[in-house]
């Protein structure tokens, strides 16, 4: 690169700023699946991938897949994949997911500029949906690539009653939302050499240790639920306290149960991030209350035991308060271990560059979890500033950490050896 161009690190941060300009909201970043902002971000990513020297395709769920083709001298090259998601949570940060797309695009551009070809096809995937904001899904885009797409999801509706199938058809991707096209978008695991994901840590561990980078050991499994509690609407002024069937106070007790049970075991966490009294009025006892539950742990058994206790507890609270309750479970994603042979290759690069080889588990979910169902995976975490805050506009990284991560990634790619190779 010439000195007139921004550094590798700065160019990644600059592009994160540019991409964040495509938002569903004023004054913050929200990029939900298949909104106009999402389409603009997708088109921008296509352009950047092409400029970096990749051939680009869009699959049936809207993933943008850029390929930096292997050295033509290679007889039967496999595919090493990387990538992360470009959708966001509501009013989220600009690096969650996007760093794992923009950094490899910058790296491919640098390789191309230096005339370096790799002995394998290197694919950068911008996953169209991971956060579940619009359709309350989980790992939607990577599930298509991993051949795990659930066709029932096409009937799921968003807050405006639009089905996922209709939204996909309107988006006009290849296949226009047909189940066959979504199935055909799965990659053949036999062609893959592995999947590696760069991601902002989204927590304070690296920051507190003074380390720019960390190697992920495993990704905590997670389960999500939608709970609906039903009671009886009645007059707020005339119904005695002991004669109420109040859905909201029942839900409050259930939420406290989630907090209490998940506080009992290290690595176990439980969150109620959505809570509504549909059609509520200040002078009417709530007839219904709905809430989400997100439960995670470093071990599947710990998570499952907590879920069993919480669901039983919710039913007990509902029975005691004469409420009805339904607990709808979104497909859980189990704990995903990272592959030691890939972690070791990242560690060798860090060591060579004089960096500490620090390993840490991920409490957040990542596209790598779904890809781990079909291939070996590894993740490189980049230090998160501002106390480690994420899923928040305050999420930040430094130019120097982005540069170091990109340089490590270049070295990793240049020295990558397939499993057993």
Q: Contact residues for Mn ion (CB under 5 A)?
A: 96-97
Q: Which is nearer to ligand HGY, 9 or 365 (CB)?
A: 365
Residue 169, burial from CB neighbour count under 10 angstroms (0-12, 13-18, 19+): middle
Nearer to Mn ion, 174 or 273 (CB): 273
Coil vs helix vs strand at 357: coil
What does 363-420 look like in DSSP terms, one character per residue? Answer: -S--HHHHHTTTS-EEEEEE---GGG--SSTT----HHHHHHHHHHHHHHHHH---TT
Taking CB under 6 A as the rule, does residue 395 contact ligand HGY?
Answer: no
As measured in angstroms, the least distance from the Cβ of 129 to Mn ion is 11
Taking the complex as a whole, the smallest distance from the CB of residue 365 to ligand HGY amounts, in Å, to 3
C-beta of 123 vs 131, nearer to ligand HGY: 131
**Residue whose CB is nearest to ligand HGY in the complex, by number:** 365
Closest residue to Mn ion, Cβ-based? 97
Closest distance of CB 364 from ligand HGY, Å: 4
One of 130, 158, 197, 395 touching ligand HGY (CB under 6 A): 130
* Interacting partner of 318 out of ligand HGY, Mn ion, none (Cβ under 5 to 8 A depending on kind): none
Choose between 287 and 368: whose C-beta lies nearer to ligand HGY: 368
Among ligand HGY, Mn ion, none, residue 365 binds (CB under 5-8 Å by kind) = ligand HGY
Residues whose CB is less than 8 angstroms from the CB of residue 69 and which lie 6 or more positions away in sequence, other chains included: 55, 117, 121
> Measured from the CB of residue 416, what is the shortest distance to ligand HGY in angstroms?
26
By the rule CB under 6 A, 364 interacts with ligand HGY? yes
- Count the site residues for ligand HGY by CB under 6 A: 4
Exposed/middle/buried for residue 224 (C-beta within 10 Å: 0-12, 13-18, 19+): buried
Q: Are strands 377-382 and 213-219 parallel, antiparallel or unpaired?
A: antiparallel
In terms of Cα–Cα distance, which of 245, 242, 148, 250 is closest to 189? Answer: 148
Residues in the chain: 421
Q: How far apart are CA 4 and CA 1, in angstroms?
A: 8
Which of 77, 93, 231, 365 touches ligand HGY by CB under 6 A?
365
- Burial of 210 by CB count in 10 Å (0-12 exposed, 13-18 middle, 19+ buried)? exposed
Minimum CB–partner distance for residue 107 and Mn ion (Å): 19
Binding site for ligand HGY (CB under 6 A): 130-131, 364-365
């Amino acid at each position: 690169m010439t000195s007139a161009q921004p550094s590798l690190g700065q160019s990644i941060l600059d592009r994160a700023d540019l991409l964040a300009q495509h938002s569903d909201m004023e004054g913050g970043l929200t990029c939900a699946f298949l909104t106009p902002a999402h389409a603009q971000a997708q088109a921008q990513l296509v352009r950047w991938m092409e400029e970096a020297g990749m051939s680009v395709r869009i699959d049936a769920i809207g993933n943008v897949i850029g390929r930096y083709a292997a050295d033509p001298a290679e007889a039967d090259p496999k595919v090493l994949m990387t990538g992360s998601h470009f959708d966001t949570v509501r009013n989220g940060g600009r690096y969650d997911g996007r760093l794992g797309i923009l950094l490899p695009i910058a790296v491919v551009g640098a390789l191309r500029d230096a005339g370096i070809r790799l002995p394998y096809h290197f694919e950068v995937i911008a996953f169209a949906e991971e956060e579940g904001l619009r359709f309350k899904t989980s790992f939607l885009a990577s599930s298509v690539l991993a051949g795990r797409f659930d066709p029932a999801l096409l009937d799921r509706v968003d807050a405006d009653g639009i089905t996922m199938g209709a939204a996909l058809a309107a988006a006009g991707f290849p296949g226009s939302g047909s189940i066959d096209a979504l199935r055909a978008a799965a990659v053949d695991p036999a062609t893959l050499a592995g999947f590696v994901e760069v991601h902002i840590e989204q927590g304070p561990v690296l920051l507190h240790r003074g380390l720019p980078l960390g190697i992920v050991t495993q990704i905590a499994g997670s389960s999500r639920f939608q709970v609906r509690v039903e009671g009886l609407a009645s007059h707020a002024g005339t119904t005695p306290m002991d004669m109420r069937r109040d859905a909201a106070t029942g839900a409050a007790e259930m939420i406290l149960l989630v907090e209490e049970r998940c506080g009992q075991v290290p690595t176990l966490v439980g969150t109620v991030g959505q809570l509504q009294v549909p059609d509520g009025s200040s002078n009417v006892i709530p007839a219904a209350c709905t809430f989400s539950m997100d439960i995670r742990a470093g071990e599947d058994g710990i998570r499952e035991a907590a879920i069993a206790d919480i669901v039983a507890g919710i039913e007990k609270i509902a029975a005691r308060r004469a409420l009805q309750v339904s607990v709808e479970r979104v497909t859980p994603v189990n704990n995903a271990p990272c592959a030691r042979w890939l972690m070791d290759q990242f560690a060798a690069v860090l060591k060579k560059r004089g960096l500490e080889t620090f390993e840490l588990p991920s409490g957040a979910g990542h596209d790598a979890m779904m890809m781990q169902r079909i291939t070996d995976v590894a993740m490189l975490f980049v230090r998160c500033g501002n106390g480690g805050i994420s899923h928040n506009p305050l999420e930040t990284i430094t130019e120097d950490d982005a540069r170091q991560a990109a340089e490590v990634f270049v070295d990793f790619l240049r020295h990558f050896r397939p499993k057993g190779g």
